[in-house]
């Protein structure tokens, strides 16, 4: 939890990725909104909206995308296709330099008439859509009957001129630091480490850092819509992807076709309010985990009551603060890594058994599972290489968010964060320092998502969501404006709702995307 939105980054990880790892190891903008539909003139007067994409079989993911093998063929043998779209580096000067935006697609399989391309953003910010879409594809099989499924690495991410900061060895040290400093010396070390990280980002990525705002990515998506040949944007955004979708709707309301926002970020909050809300959300998820565990005593070796479970976790973390235990050699499981691992496991109820096993092992002095969970959170693979998930996450958030917090701000707010979550409060409070000396100014206190004139947008909230608390869905609906946002609620657990086991949610979303059937505002799925 090294940055104010760090927990949000884990939204892009997949159950498949986590399972394989466990088995192996144990805002605002200075441009006017443009909704004219005109082409984009790049350098030399070239119409970038008329460019032809050269689709080819996808290569293996790059190191910045997380590494690994090329995506497996789809059911029926169809292969994933990849291409690169050229977009202006600086949307304020579109005739200048361009950058490549990496895309992936699975063509519509039928039956039924093809509607167009359904563009996905799986969150972060900082997550590679090129690697995430194949991992999640089985959840979207019904949508592929009438849509080409498309995703992309947003600018600054993965292959799309990815932000680079520190080396793998430096990142290992960075993620091992004490992220909840208790005295002046620890505070000085934490501030120094953050400054060094940010300076490395400036040194290695100065060209792209001013151009990774969410408004830039939204403009890329509208160019993508045109290049893919669609009159309207069909979109599915999860977590941070809901903010991106809302900003797109603000900039291009008349280009919105059908859009789903799932695992919704509250667009009215500043970074401090967002971090405090996450503290409450993760504490709620931990409470739910503890209650669920103790409701099955034969499967829960962690305590007799929910409070026992939480007390033992708190003691473990306190002990690790002064005495780490063996993790994945040569690294040790520190308090910071353990808390990251616990947070990662709360993103989905499917991860709870791993949390139970990881805690049980940690109580016996073995930190491997919690360390693996922490590595997934931070984008580290089994070979010790890091994707650029966290560097891109910090770069995009700091470019978006205008507030710059100081040590004094954190210390003033610590009591409120600790009240919100005894376990996660300190980590999220200190994480607000991540943008303190960032070389690029932030755009706004919070994103503008007002979208008068847009088609209806389906906003899906989950009452048990740890990373994007449920109240954000209603705030998004209100901010989009009257007649635009349509709220759907799921009384469930984990981050996001679609594909999480609710037939009600899945069928409602499918009917909206495939047939244009807009549900009643306020519909609830239990």
Catalytic residue among 216, 266, 426, 465: 465
Q: Is 465 a catalytic residue?
A: yes
Q: Is 239 a catalytic residue?
A: yes
- Nearest Cα neighbor of 375 from 348, 337, 346, 334 is 337
Give the up-direction half-sphere exposure of residue 228: CA atoms within 13 A in the CB hemisphere. 31
Catalytic residue among 211, 250, 446, 495: 495
Catalytic residue among 160, 239, 275, 502: 239
CB-based contact 72:56 (threshold 8 Å): no
Q: Is 35 a catalytic residue?
A: no
What region, left, alpha or beta, does residue 127 occupy, with left being phi > 0 and alpha being psi -120 to 50 degrees? beta
SS (H, E, C) 119-172: EEECCCCCCCHHHHHHHHHHHHCCHHHCEEEEEECCCCCCCCCCCCCCCHHHHH
Residues 6+ apart with CB under 8 A from 252: 33, 34, 35, 218, 222, 233
Q: In angstroms, how far is the first alpha carbon of the chain from the final one? A: 32
CB-based contact 60:69 (threshold 8 Å): yes
- Nearest Cα neighbor of 119 from 96, 85, 88, 95 is 85
Alpha-carbon span 135 to 433, nearest angstrom: 33
Q: At what angle do helices 368-378 and 335-345 cross, to 10 degrees?
A: 70
CB-based contact 440:399 (threshold 8 Å): yes
Tell me the catalytic residues. 239, 465, 495
């Amino acid at each position: 939890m090294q940055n104010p939105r760090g927990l949000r980054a884990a939204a892009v990880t997949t159950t498949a990725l986590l399972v394989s790892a466990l088995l192996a190891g144990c805002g605002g903008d200075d441009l006017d909104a443009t909704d004219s539909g005109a082409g984009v003139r790049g350098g030399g007067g070239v119409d970038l909206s008329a460019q032809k994409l050269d689709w080819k079989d996808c290569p293996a993911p790059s190191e910045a995308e997380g590494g690994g093998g090329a995506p497996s063929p789809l059911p029926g043998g169809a292969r994933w296709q990849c291409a690169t779209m050229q977009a202006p580096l600086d949307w304020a000067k579109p005739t200048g330099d361009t950058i490549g935006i990496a895309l992936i697609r699975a063509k519509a399989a039928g039956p039924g008439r093809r509607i167009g391309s359904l563009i996905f953003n799986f969150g972060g910010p900082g997550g590679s859509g090129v690697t995430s879409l194949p991992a999640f594809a089985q959840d979207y099989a019904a949508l592929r009957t009438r849509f080409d499924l498309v995703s992309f690495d947003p600018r600054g991410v993965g292959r799309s001129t990815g932000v680079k900061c520190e080396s793998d060895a430096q990142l290992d040290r960075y993620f091992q630091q004490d992220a909840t400093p208790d005295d002046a010396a620890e505070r000085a070390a934490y501030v120094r480490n953050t400054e060094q990280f940010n300076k490395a980002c400036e040194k290695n990525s100065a060209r792209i850092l001013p151009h990774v705002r969410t408004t830039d990515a939204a403009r890329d998506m509208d160019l993508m819509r045109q290049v893919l040949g669609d009159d309207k944007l069909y979109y599915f955004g999860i977590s941070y992807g809901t903010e991106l979708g809302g900003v797109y709707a603000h900039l291009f309301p008349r280009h919105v076709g059908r859009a789903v926002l799932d695992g919704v970020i509250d667009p009215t909050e500043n970074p401090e309010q967002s971090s405090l809300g996450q503290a409450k959300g993760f504490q709620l998820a931990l409470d739910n985990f503890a209650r669920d565990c103790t409701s099955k005593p034969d499967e829960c070796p962690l305590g007799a009551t929910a409070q026992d479970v939480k007390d033992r976790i708190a003691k473990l973390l306190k002990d690790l603060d002064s005495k780490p235990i063996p993790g994945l050699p040569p690294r040790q499981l520190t308090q910071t890594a353990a808390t990251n691992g616990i947070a990662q496991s709360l993103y989905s109820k499917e991860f709870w058994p791993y949390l139970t096993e990881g805690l049980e092992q940690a109580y016996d002095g073995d930190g491997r599972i919690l360390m693996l969970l922490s590595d997934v959170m931070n984008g580290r693979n089994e070979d010790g290489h890091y994707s650029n998930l966290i560097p891109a996450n910090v770069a995009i958030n700091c470019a978006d968010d205008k507030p710059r917090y100081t040590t004094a701000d954190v210390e003033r707010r610590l009591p409120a964060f600790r009240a919100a979550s005894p376990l996660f409060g300190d980590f999220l409070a200190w994480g607000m320092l991540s943008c303190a000396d960032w070389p690029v100014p932030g755009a706004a206190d919070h994103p503008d998502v007002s979208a008068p004139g847009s088609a209806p947008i389906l906003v899906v909230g989950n009452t048990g969501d740890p990373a994007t608390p449920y109240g954000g869905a209603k705030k998004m609906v209100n901010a989009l404006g009257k007649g635009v946002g349509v709220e759907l609620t799921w009384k469930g657990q984990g981050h996001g709702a679609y594909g999480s086991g609710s037939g009600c949610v899945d069928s409602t979303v499918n009917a909206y995307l495939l047939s244009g059937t807009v549900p009643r505002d306020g519909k609830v799925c239990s």
